[in-house]
Amino acid sequence: MKTKNDLLQLIMTAILLDSDEKKKRFNITYSGHVNWVEIRYYRNGWKSGEIGEYCDFVELDDEEKIQEAYWFIKNRI
């Protein structure tokens, strides 16, 4: 079972990988005031009007959502 810390570490990895590539594939939004993360993934990189894959709002206190978000990112890195 993955923890919130595992998810946040993986988010950091995704951000660092994206910063080294021309194609920016991940769009990750963190909102601390409500303790959630929103994740979008663009297989061929972000472009205006592009519709990416979407991982629903992830409440960082919800174990099930943490698992979903972790594997959403892990399977796309």
Consecutive H or E run containing 56? strand 53-59
Residue-number span of the structural domain to which 68 is assigned: 4-74
pLDDT given at position 13: 95
- What are phi and psi for residue 40, nearest 5 degrees? -125, 145
The predicted model scores a pTM of 0.88
Domain count, the chain: 1
Q: Please, is 43 exposed, middle or buried when counting C-beta atoms within 10 Å of its C-beta (0-12, 13-18, 19+)?
A: exposed
Question: pLDDT tens per residue, the chain (77 residues)?
Answer: 999 999 999 999 999 998 877 788 999 999 988 989 999 999 988 888 888 999 977 889 999 999 999 999 999 99
Cβ neighbours, 10 Å, residue 37: 22
- Per-residue confidence (pLDDT) for residue 67, from 0 to 100: 94
Q: How far apart are CA 57 and CA 38, in angstroms?
A: 5
